[in-house]
Amino acid sequence: MSAGGAPDGEVLARIFLSRVVEPGDEAAGRWLRERGAEEVARRLREGGPRLPGTSDKRWAGLRARAGRAEPERDLAAAREAGVRFLCPGTAEWPVQLDDLGDARPLGLWVRGRPSLRMWALRSVAVVGARACSEYGAHMAATLGAGLAERGWVVVSGGAYGVDGAAHRGTLAAGGATVAVLACGVDRSYPRGHTGLITRIAHQGLVVGELPPGDHPTPSRFILRNRVIAALTRGTVVVEAAYRSGALVTARAAQRLGRYTMGVPGPVTSGLSAGVHELLRGDAVLVSDAADVVELVGEMGELAPDRRGPVLPRDLLDPAAARVLAALPALGTAAPDDIARGAGTTHDDAVGRLYELRSLGFVERHGDGWKLTRQAVTSVRQAPDRC
Amino acid sequence: MSAGGAPDGEVLARIFLSRVVEPGDEAAGRWLRERGAEEVARRLREGGPRLPGTSDKRWAGLRARAGRAEPERDLAAAREAGVRFLCPGTAEWPVQLDDLGDARPLGLWVRGRPSLRMWALRSVAVVGARACSEYGAHMAATLGAGLAERGWVVVSGGAYGVDGAAHRGTLAAGGATVAVLACGVDRSYPRGHTGLITRIAHQGLVVGELPPGDHPTPSRFILRNRVIAALTRGTVVVEAAYRSGALVTARAAQRLGRYTMGVPGPVTSGLSAGVHELLRGDAVLVSDAADVVELVGEMGELAPDRRGPVLPRDLLDPAAARVLAALPALGTAAPDDIARGAGTTHDDAVGRLYELRSLGFVERHGDGWKLTRQAVTSVRQAPDRC
């Protein structure tokens, strides 16, 4: 479906359910696992005895929402706005979200061209306080830029403060960034970040569980954080007071077996108190992007060098293959030159380059990109060598 | 000997050796362990084949120093200056220094009235950069005061920067502090801290391995740090650049099985880089004195409450017993009132109170002191209850 064509019943059922069920509802997750999305959607639409693990009152609430859901209209509106819907198990679905078990999103709405699945493979979350200090904003932007320069994708929540600084720092370094919103991805929240979120949608990805037009609520912000934690290889908390939502993301990352990292600050700053609490636990202290990559890259950095690209060249998406073909055999090239060579835009080329980075074909060096040794070898040698 | 009277041969031999052998010399430590101080002193003074583990050249150097040593004169000069000499195994010797093995000091020169052994039982080292930032100085002083208010003794090196701030913060809170110098304890090093070191000698303790008049050298500074690490229950590093001597103290503490703690700071400050490096290892992040006491006090804070005082009242030093008797049965008293009641000076009373705190008889609450529940019980009940 995500490749176009008529949506099947499963997809429409999940779109319907994403209008009816709140993010992270584990009872609903169990229904889907046990009965399938279409059967659950039918029961909610047509009535009948309530499903297990819910009250009569809650069931009636879901039924009322179900009466108002119009999945075909949601899908049409999304397509109009350049938004696609990813179902679990489809090609672009980031499989690491399955670690959430019954709290796994029903699906994800995505704005932006790159492959979420590819980008998420080499991604790190950078999160923190909305009302951050100048130090926090500086560190978030510096980490974003440093991760971008090392070929890592920066995921955050699009909020004011640390989130915004991380996205901006990444974009400023010509990097790849993903905003995970707690509202419909056609909306810009917060309003003051309309410009930033629009830029992210052009240069990167804006994703979320909620259907087009839906608004954020306090519980949606909290539950959005589990998606950030699950999507990424690890979560860095830049500044967070004792009760910051960023600590929710960090703890979710810990539960999911992801790396949890913290940037220390002065102990005289309440905005670092939550980070220091994490660092007194299992979180690892990081001072810069090199520290982060040293930790999360343990496998990711080395594995492609040992194993060569995960995917043979001839299985690449044609657009990605054109970008790969535009890289010189030796030395680095600037994204604009690669874009010209591939006959595409700068933003599309950068998006593809980060996908190719996840697959081990290319590396970023400063502002330029080059083929990895393995990619060069795979060109020179017979194709059966992969 | 430390209680007065004619010094025996062992004491004079160790004083002699402290003029001849450099601090931390493990070959000399082995000679003492295997042959005793008097025999080693005799061999160095009278000549004969060199002892094992040294070169001819080094042996000749030691012999030349031995020719100039005058232990009786050193001892007389020390007594004149109010300095006493502690030998391993004597009553005031802090037994935890024995953890240093053959690098154990030959003896310790001490200025100040309180019992070093008692004070060291409940002590924490607060160390760090000489050229510290305002943040580092603030944190050192705040930690010193906070530890003092919780009845802990603060040990440091008397240097500029973090050390000085820790001593001053402790003194300002009416607390107990020990300066471990890398020179003779009759000298004040650095010169700019003459006033501070004199105050510490009056209100606390100034200690060191080097005989009166001896001067500091770079290696003596480094070796002094092992004494700070070994004396205390744990070491807190407040600010330290990558090659700071404070990291030597922290690593010595780690090797000795003491707690190692660090106060984080902005990662943009090079003065916190060494601390962050420790925190990425086994050191524990601490934000304030409460964090420190939570860690180092695990046994010390709770054990006296469970076991009652370590020493029965009637075995206390008469001066300490008078101070203990001056505390009210209920509620707290100020140090000045306690001093009046015991017929002594403020500084002596405070020194005794920290000794009594180490023994579990008293507690500090804010600026006042009170009997512990166990001490009250031991007054009310039959003496055999201890």
Query: Got the DSSP string for B165-213?
Result: HHHHHHHHTT--EEEEESS-TTS-SSGGGHHHHHHHHHHSEEEESSPTT
Query: Taking the domains of chain B in order of start, what are their residue ranges?
Result: 9-80, 112-300, 306-385
The CATH class of B306-385 is: mainly alpha
* Mutation target vs A (from B285, B286, B292, B295; most A CBs, 10 A cutoff): B285
Structure tokens given for A59: 């069931």
Mean pLDDT, residues A355-382 taken together: 81
Q: Test B267 with A273 for CB contact under 8 angstroms.
A: no
Nearest to B264 among A138, A267, A288 (CB): A267
Instruction: Give A250's pLDDT tier (boundaries 50, 70, 90).
Output: very high
d(CA B132, CA A372): 45
Name every chain B residue with its beta carbon within 8 A of the beta carbon of A128: none
Q: What is the pLDDT of residues A225-249, one digit of tens each?
A: 999 999 999 999 999 999 899 999 9
d(CA B176, CA B154): 6
pLDDT-above-90 percentage for chain B: 81
Name every chain A residue with its beta carbon within 8 A of the beta carbon of B284: 280
d(CA A48, CA B352): 81
- A169 residue type, one letter: G
Q: Test B138 with A284 for CB contact under 8 angstroms.
A: no
Mean pLDDT, residues B95-106 taken together: 96
Q: Rg of chain A's alpha carbons, rounded to an integer?
A: 21
Secondary structure percentages of chain A, helix, strand, coil, to 5 = 55, 10, 35
Size of interface A-B (CB pairs under 8 A): 53
Would the pLDDT of A308 be above 70? no
Nearest to A287 among B135, B139, B267 (CB): B267
Query: Are A264 and A241 within 8 A, CB to CB?
Result: no
* pLDDT of res. A307: 44
- For domain A112-300, say whether CATH 3.40.50.450 is its number: yes
Name every chain B residue with its beta carbon within 8 A of the beta carbon of A287: 267, 273, 276
Q: Which residue in chain B has the smallest CA separation from A261?
A: B280
Structure tokens given for A126: 């950078």
* pLDDT of res. A358: 87
Calculate how close chain A gets to B294, using CA atoms only, in Å. Answer: 12
d(CA A283, CA A276): 9
Q: What is the pLDDT of residues B259-315, one digit of tens each?
A: 999 999 999 999 999 999 999 999 999 999 999 999 998 654 444 444 445 567 777
Q: What is the pLDDT of residues B200-237, one digit of tens each?
A: 999 999 999 999 999 999 999 999 999 999 999 999 99
Structure tokens given for B272: 């916190």
Helix (H) or strand (E) holding A108: strand A108-111
* Residue located via tokens 């000085």: B164
Would the pLDDT of B33 be above 50? yes
Q: What is the pLDDT of residues B73-90, one digit of tens each?
A: 999 999 999 999 999 989
Structure tokens given for B8: 């025996």
Name every chain B residue with its beta carbon within 8 A of the beta carbon of A141: none
Q: What residues have CB less than 8 Å from B118, skipping those under 6 apart?
A: B354, B355, B358, B359
Mean pLDDT, residues A192-198 taken together: 96
Nearest to B279 among A139, A265, A279 (CB): A279
CB atoms within 10 A of CB B64: 10
Nearest to A266 among B266, B276, B279 (CB): B266
Structure tokens given for B60: 């000749």
Would the pLDDT of B2 be above 80? no
Q: What is the pLDDT of residues B143-187, one digit of tens each?
A: 999 999 999 999 999 999 999 999 999 999 999 999 999 999 998
Q: Test A287 with B276 for CB contact under 8 angstroms.
A: yes
Q: What is the pLDDT of residues A119-146, one digit of tens each?
A: 999 999 999 999 999 999 999 999 999 9
Give this prediction's pTM.
Answer: 0.85
> Environment class of residue A155 by beta-carbon count within 10 Å: exposed (0-12), middle (13-18) or buried (19+)?
buried
Closest of A167, A159, A154 to residue A129, by C-alpha: A159
A123-127 and A234-237 strand pairing: parallel
B69: which DSSP letter? -
More confident residue, B305 or A335: A335
Instruction: Give B386's pLDDT tier (boundaries 50, 70, 90).
Output: very low
Query: Are A362 and A373 within 8 A, CB to CB?
Result: no
* Residue located via tokens 């479906």: A1
Query: Are A359 and A118 within 8 A, CB to CB?
Result: yes
Nearest to B276 among A272, A280, A285 (CB): A285
Q: What is the pLDDT of residues A143-191, one digit of tens each?
A: 999 999 999 999 999 999 999 999 999 999 999 999 999 999 998 889 9
* pLDDT of res. B316: 84
Closest of B286, B259, B295, B253 to residue B139, by C-alpha: B286
Q: Which residue in chain A has the smallest CA separation from B266?
A: A265
Closest of B272, B270, B280, B219 to residue B248, by C-alpha: B219
Would the pLDDT of B255 be above 80? yes
Structure tokens given for A369: 């990109």
* pLDDT of res. B315: 77
- List phi, psi (to 5°) of A91: -60, -40
Closest of B231, B210, B229, B211 to residue B219, by C-alpha: B210
Calculate how close chain A gets to B149, using CA atoms only, in Å. Answer: 19
Helix (H) or strand (E) holding A303: helix A303-307
